Chain A
Amino acid sequence: MNENRRKILEMLATGQISADEAERLITALEQGQPGAASSGSEPRPKPKYVRVLVEDNGQGRAAKVNVRVPMQLLRAGVKLAGLIPDHARAHVNEALREKGIPFDLSQIKPENLEEVIDQLADLTVDVADRDATVRVFCE
Chain B
Amino acid sequence: MIPITSTIRIRTGRDGFPIWIPLFIVWLLLLPVVLLLLPFAFVACLAVRVNPFRAFSVFWHIISGLRGTDVRVEDGACSVLVHIPRSFV
Contact = CB atoms under 8 A, between A and B. Distances in A.
Nearest to A68: B70
B66 A70 contact: yes
A76 B74 CA distance: 28
A66 B69 CA distance: 11
Q: For the side of the interface on B, what is the size category?
A: 20 to 34
B50, B55, B61, B76 — most chain A CB neighbours (10 Å) = B61
Contacts of A75: 61, 65
SS of A interface (majority): mixed
Interface in A28-70: 48-49, 60, 63-70
B22 interface: no
A116 interface: no
Interface residues of A, number: 24
B14 interface: no
Interface of A: 48-49, 60, 63-70, 72-77, 79-80, 82-83, 85-86, 88
Interface of B: 48-50, 54-55, 57-58, 61-62, 64-76
By Cβ-Cβ distance, the 3 closest A-B pairs, closest first, are A73-B65, A72-B65, A76-B61
